């Protein structure tokens, strides 16, 4: 993923790759923790896609939240279509 944005002759050190992986993991934990807190306050045990979108927005990542909501709605439409085709 990192190579796609860099010039073809650019090289990425193992340390840089590891650092990016750690940052991505930390970001995921950060967002998931926020979504989990919301579920806990609402006495729910399951975090869903809407909770993740809410958490992204709540944490100031509105651009990501909007994109994720669009994807989530489309995903649900496709899943509904597949279910209807199978029945």
Per-domain boundaries in the chain = 48-87
**Helices (H), ranges, the chain:** 2-5, 14-41, 49-58, 62-86
pTM of the predicted protein model? 0.79
pLDDT over 90 percentage in the chain: 83
pLDDT over 70 percentage in the chain: 100
The mean pLDDT of 40-60, rounded to a whole number, is 96
């Amino acid at each position: 993923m990192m190579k796609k944005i860099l010039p073809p002759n650019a090289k990425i050190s193992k340390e840089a790759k590891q650092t990016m992986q750690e940052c991505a993991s930390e970001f995921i934990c950060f967002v998931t923790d926020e979504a989990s807190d919301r579920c806990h306050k609402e006495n729910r045990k399951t975090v869903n896609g809407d909770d993740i979108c809410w958490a992204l927005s709540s944490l100031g990542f509105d651009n990501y939240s909007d994109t994720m909501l669009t994807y989530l709605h489309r995903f649900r439409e496709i899943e509904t279509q597949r279910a209807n085709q199978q029945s």
